[in-house]
Amino acid sequence: MIEEKILRMTCEAVQQLYGQVIKPESIGMETTKKEITGDFTIVVFSLLKMSRKSPEATAGEIGAFLKVNVSEISEFNVIKGFLNLVLSDDFWTGFLASNGSRADFGIQEKRGEAPIVLEYSSPNTNKPLHLGHIRNNLLGYSLAEILKANGHEVVKVNLVNDRGIHICKSMLAYMKWGNGETPESTGEKGDHLIGRYYVLFDKEYKAEIRDLMEKGLSEEAASRQAPLITEAQEILRKWEAKDAEVLQLWKTMNGWAYDGFDLTYRRLGVDFDKIYYESETYLLGKELVMEGLGSERLVRKDDGSVWADLRDEGLDEKLLLRADGTSVYMTQDLGTAQLRYEDYHPSAMIYVVGNEQNYHFDVLKKVLSKLGKTFAGHVYHLSYGMVELPLGKMKSREGTVVDADDLMEEMFSTAAAMTRELGKASELSEEDADKLFNTIGLGALKYFILKVDPKKNMMFDPAESIDFNGNTGPFIQYTYARIQSLLSKAALAGYQWEQPVLSGQPSLLLLEKEIIKRLFLFDEAVIQAGREMNPAVIANYVYDLAKGYNQFYQELPVLKEEDTAKVLLRLCITDFVGKTIKTSMKLLGIMVPPRM
């Protein structure tokens, strides 16, 4: 790569000019700012102790050395301690000729290393997926694609929270008020039906708490003694004791939830290589806890509960088994981590989970380490912020959650209305139009969520997300469709640009060079997105590329250009941009339509 060559020769310059040996990684180099002439900038301040000269003089001497010894550098300029290097037109056209026809540009070869296990989604079987789950699923799926593009083998896993007190709440409500209804009898998706009973439980439970408080109990005491919660806890104990009637209802209701989830996943365009179930991992977690208790790494208290004492490590005591012997989330996660290690011996175990669980994963790593698990250091929590709507935060237990299915349907309807209003679907069949509306609607949803750094909270505005102008998915999709239309016209006119002879071109115009430079930076964007585990790097890269191409398209004629060599150059640029947009959007899990 040219960057490596420049860094290597800068080290050579320092040795020859100043008699000092340095390593390439000690040199600061960055892409030159847009308002300054240059392609790459070397920051020389760290070299002043070696040169014993001013920043300007040091940069000038190194720049002169590089211009003589690096053939790709055509000129340089110095601004204080910043050495701005300009690469020749031949370098840029050579890059274009070598890579423009590649469909895999930016995708690295497989490394042959141990796989990365990446967990995302992690639904509860007591309610349907909501907007928060959408951010989780989109982040997880996109990160998997980005890591694969960086040469990693990735195993996408889902941990279904199919047991615990929250599941028992839905089961109890159904037992009391379900009257035997099913998804088939109601015409309702299974996960929606179960979610309805979870909301009903919460409504009735709160009423019981109010009644007990009116009788003089504190809110805390009332919440513990309310009949519904004690009944739910009894169902959990029966489940762990393998009571046949409870297990049968549990299997039936979970089956309804899985069928509903699968429909949502298919429409959202995410999938998994393996699904784990907490009902199958919690016992392994209990075994690990008991082993730790036997080795005195854990502590049993007088009431029979088991704890990990992490106070010496800056945390506190963490409950691992309740006094009645039932497990908690941490117990299950210990078992799941052990099982994944046994299944894959991964180089990393990444958990895509909201930032409200930051403390949980700090504890998980500490407890695994306390239990002597060597893979504790392989655990990484990709923490992401909350999604809010213009009207406020979501509250699932109160039935005001923004349902994932409803949101996707709303995006489809909005895309249909806006696309028809703009006259972009007038020539399509009804079936093709529906496919286009779904592609645009989901593209808008996915891009709007993924363009935000995962660590940040975000406001999702459906209307803003589907605008055909600005930093949106539909804008990028429309740019791709415009490119395909232009290339089709060029092919009909007889132009062949796949293997162009680009040497000997007249000097590149500024816009031509700028768009080639943006294409050149795709490699680094993929690497950075993988290193930072941040799909927003790709999202913002592809928007910048699409925006730059639209300026290029508006200001420079392509098929109307009289110079055939220039036509072929611009067609090659156009084709390369189209391929790179398609690859970028694929890394985000977004489809691009050939026409809009």
DSSP character string of 153-179: -EEEEEEEB--SHHHHHHHHHHHHH-T
For the record, the structure tokens of 272 come out as: 């998994």
Q: For residue 207, give both structure tokens.
A: 């009423």
The confidence score (pLDDT) of residue 398 equals: 46
Q: 494: which residues sit within 8 A by CB, 6+ positions away?
A: none
- Delineate the domains of the chain, giving CATH numbers in brackets: 2-87 (3.30.1360.70), 160-271 (no CATH), 404-587 (1.10.730.10)
Least confident range from 98-107, 139-148, 194-203, 450-459: namely 98-107
Looking at per-residue confidence, does 469 or 57 come out higher?
57
Residues 378 and 346: beta-carbon distance below 8 Å:
yes
pLDDT surpassing 80 at residue 9: yes
pLDDT at 319 over 60: yes
How many angstroms separate the CA atoms of 556 and 562, rounded? Answer: 12
pLDDT in the model for residue 592: 97
Cross-strand partners of 155 = 117
Round the average pLDDT of the chain to a whole number and report it.
93
Does 94 have pLDDT greater than 50? yes
Question: What DSSP string describes 208-253?
Answer: HHHHHHHTT--HHHHHHH-HHHHHHHHHHHHHHTT-HHHHHHHHHH
Measured CA to CA in angstroms, residue 326 lies from 163, 289, 318, 371 at distances of 11, 12, 15, 20
457 confidence band (pLDDT: 50, 70, 90): very high
> Contact, 50 vs 18, CB < 8 A?
yes
pLDDT digits (tens, 9 = 90+) for 349-396: 999 999 999 999 999 999 999 999 999 999 999 999 998 877 654 444
pLDDT confidence of residue 109: 93
CA distance 35 to 41: 13
pLDDT mean over 149-177:
96
Please state the pTM of the whole predicted model.
0.92
Distance CA 261, CA 254 (A): 10
pLDDT at 399 over 60: no
CA–CA gap between residue 487 and residue 98 (Å, rounded): 19
- Give me the count of residues in the chain: 596
Contact indicator for 65, 22 with CB cutoff of 8 Å: no
Q: What is the pLDDT of residue 330?
A: 92
Q: Say if residue 105's pLDDT is above 70.
A: yes
List, as one string, the DSSP characters of 43-94: E-GGGHHHH-S-HHHHHHHHHHHHHHH-TTEEEEEEETTEEEEEE-HHHHHH
The answer to which of 32-41, 51-60, 502-511, 578-587 has the lowest mean pLDDT is 502-511
Average pLDDT over residues 461-479: 91
Report which secondary-structure segment, H or E, holds 349.
Answer: strand 348-354
Banded model confidence at residue 523, pLDDT cuts 50, 70, 90: very high
Alpha-carbon radius of gyration of the chain: 29
Per-residue model confidence (pLDDT) at position 506: 67
pLDDT score for 397: 41
Give pLDDT, residue 247.
97
3-class DSSP state of 38: coil
What integer pLDDT is reported at residue 189 of this predicted model?
Answer: 97
Mean pLDDT within 193-202 = 95
Tell me the C-alpha distance between 160 and 250, whole Å: 14
Q: Work out the angle at residue 233's Cα, subtended by the Cα atoms of residues 229 and 239, and round it to the nearest 5 degrees.
A: 145
